[in-house]
Amino acid sequence: MQKSSRVSEAVIRRLPKYYRYLKDMQKSGVERISSKELSKKMGLTASQIRQDFNCFGGFGQQGYGYHVSELCDEIRKILGLDKEYNVIIAGAGNLGQALANYVGFEKEGFNIRAMFDVNPRLVGLSIRGVQILDIDSMGDYIVNNEIQVGIVCVPKAKAQEVTDEMVKRGIKSIWNFAPVDVEIPENVAVENVHLSDTLYTLSYKMNED
């Protein structure tokens, strides 16, 4: 499927959710689904779903609906999850270790090659076979191992410095968990994950009415 020149941020943010739901249905053996059923499951309108998919040339057939595993595969490709990536994690604290322990990322092609930390008590240890190395060796490691994705799990005060080093050494994608928006050049992709944002949204919702 060909995607149109510029897909809106809102559509892009819904793609992983479609992928999640479709993967679950595929696992449960669901072969096809109408946009109406899919919309009910996902809490979106059927026309919203059709519009979203039209950004990528449209899927599905009138009167048949969507073929679940075909649609799932298409969205996997659109998301770039049909490829393999070399990943490192900077910061081997609890959060870094939690991410290293999660096998789900590997299943989608994100292979964590190494972790890096300043703490001498952590350096030398392994998490699920992933070695924790000295943060000073990170730059050379990136270059020598063709690392494409850098996960930032260091404290807020160190996040920009670590990001700058990653970018300088050729990393093109930053997944940042430090509670600050890191700045990157235009040709680098970044996702700043602010865990507290969802807590505050929850707080708003519980105080509503």
Nearest CA-CA partner of 120 in 102, 107, 132: 132
190 binds a copy of itself (CB under 8 A): yes
Distance CA 102, CA 106 (A): 8
Residue number, 76 or 133, with CB nearest to a copy of itself = 76
Q: Which stretch binds a copy of itself (CB under 8 A): 31-39, 118-126, 138-146, 185-193?
A: 185-193
3-state secondary structure at position 78: helix
Nearest-5° Cα angle at 55, 49 to 61 = 60
Least separation in angstroms between CB 111 and a copy of itself: 13
Give the DSSP H/E element, type plus range, for residue 77: helix 68-78
* Side chain identity at residue 82, one-letter code: D
**Measured at the alpha carbon of residue 90, what is the angle toward residues 139 and 192, in degrees to the nearest 5?**
110
Nearer to a copy of itself, 58 or 80 (CB): 80
> Is 55 among the residues that bind a copy of itself (CB under 8 A)?
no
Contact between 57 and a copy of itself per CB under 8 A:
no
Q: Which is nearer to a copy of itself, 61 or 111 (CB)?
A: 111
> Residues 128, 105: contact at Cβ < 8 Å?
no
Rule CB under 8 A: say whether 45 interacts with a copy of itself: no
Q: Using the rule CB under 8 A, is 128 a contact of a copy of itself? A: no
* Identity at 172, one-letter amino acid code: K
From residue 74, alpha-carbon distances to 2, 79, 95, 109 in Å are 10, 9, 31, 16
Instruction: List the interface residues with a copy of itself, window 131-170 (CB under 8 A).
Output: 148-149
Candidate list 44, 46, 125, 193; residue touching a copy of itself; CB under 8 A: 193
Token duo for residue 149: 């994705």
Burial of 18 (0-12, 13-18, 19+ CB in 10 A): buried
Applying CB under 8 A, among 93, 118, 134, 169 the residue interacting with a copy of itself is: 93
30 binds a copy of itself (CB under 8 A): no
Contacts of a copy of itself in 95-124 (CB under 8 A): 95, 97-99, 101-102, 104-105, 108, 110
Which residues of this protein are in contact with a copy of itself, per CB under 8 A?
12-13, 15-17, 19-20, 78-81, 83, 85, 93-95, 97-99, 101-102, 104-105, 108, 110, 148-149, 172-175, 179, 189-191, 193-208
